[in-house]
Structures are given as C-alpha cells and as structure tokens.
Structure 1
Amino acid sequence: MRRRPPHLTRAWWNTPRLVRTLTALALTTVLAFAATTATVLTGARDGTDTIGHRSGPQAARAADLYFALNDMDAQAANLLLLGADPDYTALRRQTLETYEQRRAQADTDLQRAAEATAADPAGQRAVQTVLGELGHYEALVARSQLLTEQSHAPAGKPSAEALDAYRQATDLLRQQLLPAADQVTAANVATVEATHTERRDALADGRWWILATGLLALAVLAVLQRTLTLRFRRLLNLPLAAATLLVAAGLIAGLTLASHAADQLTVAKSNAYDSVIALNRARAVAYDMNADESRYLTDPARAAAYEQSFLDKSQTFARLDGATLTTYDDRLAKAAERHRADRTQVPFAGYLGTELGNITFGGEQDAAERLLTAYQQYQRDDRAMRALLHRGRLKDAVTFNTGLAAGQSNADFAALTAALDDVLAINQHAFEQAVADTDADLGATTATTGALVLAAVLALTLLGVRPRLREYR
C-alpha cells in the first residue's frame, strides 16, 4: 500500500484538501455563472413576451378599436351627407357596407380587449364603458339613417330630426367612447414603455454580470488546472480542459445572446413599435379628419367647429406651429421641400413627423415619402371642397368630397390611407420579426442546451479531479 509523505499527513493544508477546495469553488462559480446568465436571459425573454405578445399587441388592438370607432362615425356622417338623393344610391350602399364592416371590427376588438384587460380594473372599466355605450351610439346612427330615408332628404340637407340624432351619436362617441378606447391604448403603451426601460437597463447591467461571473469561473478552473499540473506532474487534465472550453463557449454565447436580445428589444420597441402606435393613431385621426369634412358640409350650425376640428387633427397628423387652414398648405409645402432636399431634416412634428424621424427599415423611407405626398394632396382637396361650398355649389362639394373617381377627395384619401397602411405594414413586420428572433434565441432549445452544457461542465470537472484524489486514498 502506497504511503503518504509525512509532510502531507501532518500539514492541514495538504494537496487533497487544496484540490477539494478548488473543485468546490470551481463548481460554485460555474453554477453562479450559469444562474446569472439564466436570470439575465430569462428577464430578456419575459420583457420581450410582455412587449411582443401582451401589452404591445393589446395597445395595437386598442388603437385599432379607436380607428374602427372613428371610421364608423365617418361613414355615419357620409350617410347623413348623401341623404336620400338617388344620384348617390350606389355610393350610399357602399358606405353602409363599410359602416357594417367597421362595426364588426369594433366588436372583435372589444372582445379581445375585454379578454386582455381581465386583470386590469381600469382597463376593464374602460372596455365596459365602450361596451355599454356602443349600442346606444349604434341606435342613434340607425335612427338618423331611418329619419333621412323617411324625409327623402337631398344631399347635404338632412332633416332637423336626423341631424339631431347624428349630433347625439357623434357627441357620445367623442365624449365617452373614444376617450375610453384611448385609455386602454394609453395603459398598454405605458406598460410597454416601463418594461422596455426596465429590461434595457437590466440587460446593460446583466451583460457585465455575465462577463464577471464567467471570467471568475474560468479563472478558478484555470487555477485548478494549474494546481493539478504542478502537484501531480501531468501536462494537461483533459476533462478539466474540456470543461474550461465549455465555460468559455458558454460565456461567449451568453454575452452574444444578451447583446442580441438588447438589440432586438431596441428594434422591436424604439424602431418599430413606436412607429406602429403613431401610425395606428395617425390612421384614426385621418379618418376622423375625413369625417369632419362630411360633418362640415352636413351641419352648417356647427360648420365653424368642424372646420377648427379638421385643422386641429391636421396639426396632430403633421404639426406646423401657428398655421391656420388658410396658410397650412403653403407651410406644409415649404416644410416638405426642405425635407426632400435633406431627408434627415423633418421640419414638422405630429405623427407624420415622428415617422419620418424614425426611418429604420428597408423600404420605409420611400413609403413614408409617398405618405407625405398623399397627405399634401388630400389637404389640397380639402381646400377645393370648401371653395366649392363657399361658391354655393353644395352638391358639387358633396360629390367632390365623397367621390372615388381619380382627382376626387375620397380617391385621394384612399391613396393616403393606402400609403399609411404600407408604412404601418413595414413597421409591424419588423416588430413581429424582432419578437420572433428573440423568441427563437431564448426559447426552449436554448434553455435545454444551456442545461446540458452546465451538466457536462460539472461532470467533466468532477471527472477530471476524482482520479487525482483517489491517489491519496
């Protein structure tokens, strides 16, 4: 039987005890590194889940509800404007079909919003407000349509009773339905903002923690390898070397995944999601602007208020401080010229300014430029419509406002909304792709691979040390 040297027997800090201590320290630091990496990446996955699968889509659906309600009212205003004039029979039928489509869309959005806000009392109250009042709104619109048909009202001249019913409907929409829908959007947008800030900061700190714990684990494994080399006169402990390489690979992978998650979080939130929400709201505002034109033609008593409302919404869409309806077109044209001369310059604010200042993805710049051009044309059409009315040509103004032929206002409005949808689709696709990439990076496959690598490192470390310790038995 091999006997231990006397100095090893007598010394408290002998080789076996040193190796065992270093082994325990190596296993501890490896586990700490693994736990840190898992915590950081799990937090990133949870943040992406909140932004990409819960609050982000919920905010978009709530914005879509806002849009559907706005367009319902726009179509209701158009129905009132067209009256019972036989010249508009086909257009009236098409307008009614659009109204019914938007009503179905609003019902679907409401159902999803109700499911999504089940754990949010404030959101639930907002959804219940819309649910409770939407039926009342629809009844008022139906009454307005019925009275219009019964009175055989000409275009642009509804009966007092039909106009009163529509006024009640549109006032209800503005005072209760739209604010409630916007509250649901705002709550989810706030959640996305808070989650993004928290996850961005956590990932920034987390990458340093991954680096620190990973380097510490590598350092301890290196010391253990060095100790075995010196004490046992062997050039290399292969299992321990393999464990060290796996930890190094895990460190590189952990840092890469954390950096990629941070990049995709920026793409999803700052580059794509912010534009998605701005464009969704811009779409709702655009349809409400279009409705203001019909209201302006239909309700002379409120014409000044609807004209101001149109200007206010125009400023929301593309803000030019101090512009009036008379000066807005020229101011917008000059701002657009400056922008086209240098696309990095966006000399106006509003939703369109936000989008043009946040160009990130392929094809987005050209699509946004088409949106700007279409918006300018639609604004010019509005002035032409008002000029027709001021010259006493009410029916011509109605035809120009509601017409879908080339050069008419609603045809140009369709071009505007198509351009809006194109830009929105680009950003929506980028948002979904960034979320999908993070899901793929931090999914079950990554977690399983990480667990297997950790088990292998622990097993290899023990396998490398155990034969050396057995020499002292």
Structure 2
Amino acid sequence: MTTSTTGRSATSEEAAAGGDDGPEPAGSSGEPAGPRPPSGPWLQSGPLARLGQGLRTVGSRSYWTTPRLVRALTALSLAALIGLGATATAVLGGARDGTDTIGHRAAPQATRAADLYFALSDMDAQAANLLLVGDDQDYAALRKQTLDTYEQRRNQADDDLQQAAQAAAADPAGQRAVQLVLGRLGSYEALVARSQLLEEQAKAPAGQPSPAALDAYRQASDLLRSQLLPAADQVTAANEATVDRVYGEQRDALGTGWWWLFGAGLLALAALVGLQRALLVRYHRVFNPALAGVTLLTGVVLVTGLALVGRTSDHLVTAKSDAYDSVIALSRSRAVAYDMNADESRYLIDPSRAAVWEQAYLEQSQAIVHFDGATLDTYGTRLQTAVERHHQNRSTVPFGGYLGAELNNITFPGEQAAAERVLSAFQEYQAIDHRMRVLRGAGQLKDAITLNTGLAEGQSNYQFGQLGAAMQDTIDVNQKAMDAALAATDGDLDGTTAALGGVVLAAAVALTALGVRPRLREYR
C-alpha cells in the first residue's frame, strides 16, 4: 500500500512539473493526445506578453496625458485630411480620364468610322449612277454632278482613313481593319475608273451599260461590299465597344467613389471635431479659430467634391446615353441609307442580279426601320401603318432599327421634331422607290431612271437629299448636347480645379498645425 501511494505521488509531481518525457496516452487524463500548447517563461516575457502589456498601457486613462492625446488627434486629423484629398483626386481624376476616353477619343473615332462607311457607300452609289445615265445627253448635267460628288466622297474617305489610322495606333484590330481599307481602296477606285472608261468608249444608252463596263463595276461593288464596308464597320464597332465598356466602368466608379469620398470626409470632420473637443475639455478653451476654419473648409470641400462627382455622373449620362447613342445610331443610319440608295441604281443597271439588289435594298431599309417578317412587297404598307400609329401617340414607336432606337431616346429640345422629319422623309423615299420599281417592271426604263436620279421635288434623289438633311439635323442636335456635356465636365475637372484643391488641402494642413501648436508649446 505504501509503495503504491508513493508511486502515484511521484507520478503526479512529475506531471505537475512537466517532467514526463513523452505524450500522455489518449484518455489517461481526459485530455487529447498530442503536443501541449506552449507554456512557461516565453509567454510571460516574450513578444506576445510585451504586446499585451503595451496594449493595456495604451488603453489606460493614465497613459493619455493631454499632450499625447492632442498629438494623436492631430496626427489623425492630418491623416484624414490627406486621405480626403487623395480620395477626391482618385475619384475625380479617374472620372476626368474616363470622360476624356469616351468624349475625345473613342466616340469621335466611332462616328468618324461611320462617316467613312457613309463616304464609301456614296462613292459606290455615284459610280452606279454614272453607268445608269450612260451617254444619254438628257443626263449630261447630272453626269457632271455625279462625277463631282464621286470625287468629293473619295477625298472625304481619304481624310477619314488618315484620321482612323492615327486613332487606331494603339488598337491592333483597328489597325488591321484600317490597313485593309487602305490596301483595297486603290483596287476599288481602279475598277471604277475602268468601268467609267469602258462606258465612255461604248457610248451606251441610259440604263444599258456595256457588258464589260458592268462587269468591272460588279467587281468594284463586290469588293466594296465584301471587304471595305465590313472593315469600316469593324472599326466603328470596336470604338463603340470601347465607349460602352469605359462608360460602364466610369458609372460604377463614380457611384462607388461618391461613397468613398463621403466616408473620407466624415472621418476628417470627426477627427477635427474630436481634436477641438479635446482642446476644449483639457485646456478649457471655448473656441479655436484655426481649427474651426479647417472644419468649415473641410465641410465645404466635402460638399463641393460630392457635388462634382454627381455633376460628372450626370454629364456622363447626358454625353453617352442621351447624346452619343443617338449620334452613332443616326450616323450608322445615314451610312446605310447611302448604301440603300446605291442599291436602287444597281437594280436598274443590272437586271440579271435584280433580285440580289432588291434583297440588299430591303436589308438596308430594315436596318433603318425594322419590321419582323417584312418583305419588299409589304414593307411600304407596314411603314405607313407604323408612321400613322406613331403620329397618333409620339411615345409609341412600333418598329426597331436605328431610327427606332433614336425615337426611343428623345432627350433634347428640337430633337423630336428633327427625328420626326427623318421618319417622314424616309417614308416618302420608300414610296418613290416603290413607284420606280413599278415603272421598271412595266418596261418604262427611262422613266424609272429619271424618277430615280431626278433632283426635282417628288423625285428620288431630291427626297433622298431631304432624308440626309433631316438625319444630319438630328445628329447636330445630339452632337451639340454631347459637346456641351463634355465641355462642362472638362471645365469642372480641369487643371484649375486640381490646383485649387491642392491649395485648399495645404491650407487645411497648415491651419491644423497652427491651431494646435500653441497648446503643445505649453508643455516644453
């Protein structure tokens, strides 16, 4: 009995002293097997212990003497003021860069590429008209005018290409598209020149080009439609995608930035108020002019910064959603319309491919004003019905396409009336086109050519001119609004604003130090 008791006592003492060399078997004392948590002097004098002791010291009331408290609150106030300035710089600087990308680079490049599409389409329309009028002396004046317009559009396309090449310097896909147009445009112009030469040599009557001239024009037109126009459209689409992406990013950034700026401003105000309260309680001073001025200045900066973020967001919506979306839709609509106008002339000069050109004309019409399931025979009737419905209720837009998108995005004074003129001119143009096809089907080719190329009121080219002018008027309304919104943002976020913000921040920091310094000097 004595031996057993002694053994148990020794074992207990060893366990208490930590003298057991190995882990205790699982279940022997109710504790899990395995290494024990560290214990001993390390916890009592190691880093963790010193950290805990430091935290307890800092957390005690006795530690926070008046100079320590004032210095800490001063440091917090200065850090909060600098943080407010950094947050405002990041938010407003990012907004400025995003607006610059949208308004001064991507959006102008997209509209310029759409303008290139328009110039190329009208070049081909004029080339088709040259074959259409032939050597008929009744169309001598029209022939000269057509040649002049062709040269004008060719120069315009060259200018657009040069600008597009410069703008696409940092965009490999855009560069490839521009290079394709540059490389193929010369081939297209050579084929058109050959077609004109062969037509002049053949002295063919109106609407009956020589087979050789028609073949050369077909090659030119096929090259344009299969390569040049798709490449120009690719440049437009790439820049549109950039505008949409940057716009989405900026809208999110401005929304988040508003709250970051609000939080940074509240923190700065809270730190300044805390500092003033500490001075009031510890020094029994009722008023500190310097700190009161900093607090007021910080509040003004916060309100101004939040207002600038809100204004920038509003201007961004105006410039992109309200104005740019309409500008690009109408620019593309105008470009497609000129290709549609060329399809009329192609239809008249190339009867063996008349069905192809009729289908192309319908597709271009559908791009401008779209009806599901419409055919060339039903399109005019459905358009008339839709226009009547829209005139009865301006908020009803019973069609899609580029013009449908514009009429669903009316925002600015004068825009509704301008867009209505586009719709009316388009409807009348479609009606004249239908009459032209009826004349052609009845074998009255010259009458159909006269109706198609005529510049008198009631004739196709006159009405097409009205359509183009109405489109341009509507573009101008939106472009003016877009420019005004961008100018307002540029004015809000220019270098003067940044410089003024830096001066205000420096003044706030200096006034904070100035307001606290006399109190701290009392302890020297």
Q: TM-score, normalised by structure 1?
A: 0.97
Structure 2 residue corresponding to 1:403, chosen from 454, 459, 463: 454
Q: Does 1:117 align with 2:168?
A: yes
Q: Distance in 2 between matches of 1:179 and 1:467?
A: 74
SS of 1:113's partner is helix
Q: Distance in 1 between matches of 2:387 and 2:277?
A: 69
Q: CA deviation at 1:11?
A: 4.4
Q: Distance in 1 between matches of 2:62 and 2:310?
A: 48
Q: Does 1:376 align with 2:427?
A: yes
Please name the residue that 1:221 is paired with: 272
Please name the residue that 1:324 is paired with: 375
**Which of the pair has more CA radius of gyration?**
2
Please name the residue that 1:253 is paired with: 304
Structure 2 residue corresponding to 1:170, chosen from 187, 211, 221: 221
Please name the residue that 2:515 is paired with: 464
Show CA shifts across 1:326-357 (max 9, x none).
Answer: 21111111111211221111110000000000
Q: Distance in 2 between matches of 1:465 and 1:340?
A: 71
Q: Distance in 1 between matches of 2:462 and 2:325?
A: 29
Structure 2, unmatched stretches of 5+, are: 1-60
Please name the residue that 1:311 is paired with: 362
SS of 1:87's partner is helix
SS of 2:245's partner is helix
Q: Distance in 1 between matches of 2:266 and 2:409?
A: 38
Matching of residues 405-424 of structure 1 within 5 Å: 405-424=456-475
Structure 2 residue corresponding to 1:435, chosen from 452, 466, 486: 486
Matching of residues 252-291 of structure 1 within 5 Å: 252-291=303-342
Q: Does 1:128 align with 2:179?
A: yes
Please name the residue that 1:90 is paired with: 141
Code of the aligned partner of 1:238: P
Structure 1, unmatched stretches of 5+, are: 1-9
Q: Distance in 1 between matches of 2:362 and 2:226?
A: 19
Identity %: 66
SS of 1:327's partner is helix
Q: Distance in 1 between matches of 2:284 and 2:323?
A: 59
Code of the aligned partner of 1:150: Q
Q: Does 1:45 align with 2:107?
A: no
Matching of residues 62-81 of structure 1 within 5 Å: 62-81=113-132
Q: Distance in 2 between matches of 1:16 and 1:83?
A: 99
Q: Distance in 2 between matches of 1:67 and 1:76?
A: 14
Code of the aligned partner of 2:491: A
Please name the residue that 2:254 is paired with: 203
Q: CA deviation at 1:403?
A: 0.4
Code of the aligned partner of 2:144: R
SS of 1:118's partner is helix
SS of 1:326's partner is helix
Structure 2 residue corresponding to 1:366, chosen from 413, 417, 434: 417
Please name the residue that 2:343 is paired with: 292
Show CA shifts across 1:431-471 (max 9, x none).
Answer: 11111111111000110110011011101111110011111
Code of the aligned partner of 1:328: Y
Q: CA deviation at 1:12?
A: 2.9
Q: Does 1:158 align with 2:209?
A: yes
Please name the residue that 2:4 is paired with: none
**RMSD (Å), alpha carbons:** 0.9
SS of 1:320's partner is coil
Please name the residue that 1:352 is paired with: 403
Q: CA deviation at 1:293?
A: 0.3
Code of the aligned partner of 1:316: A
Q: Distance in 2 between matches of 1:231 and 1:82?
A: 98
SS of 2:377's partner is coil
Q: TM-score, normalised by structure 2?
A: 0.88
Structure 1 residue corresponding to 2:159, chosen from 104, 108, 120: 108
Matching of residues 13-28 of structure 1 within 5 Å: 13-28=64-79
Q: CA deviation at 1:365?
A: 0.4
Q: Distance in 1 between matches of 2:295 and 2:146?
A: 70
Q: CA deviation at 1:390?
A: 1.2
Code of the aligned partner of 1:367: A
SS of 2:234's partner is helix
Code of the aligned partner of 1:402: T
Please name the residue that 2:295 is paired with: 244
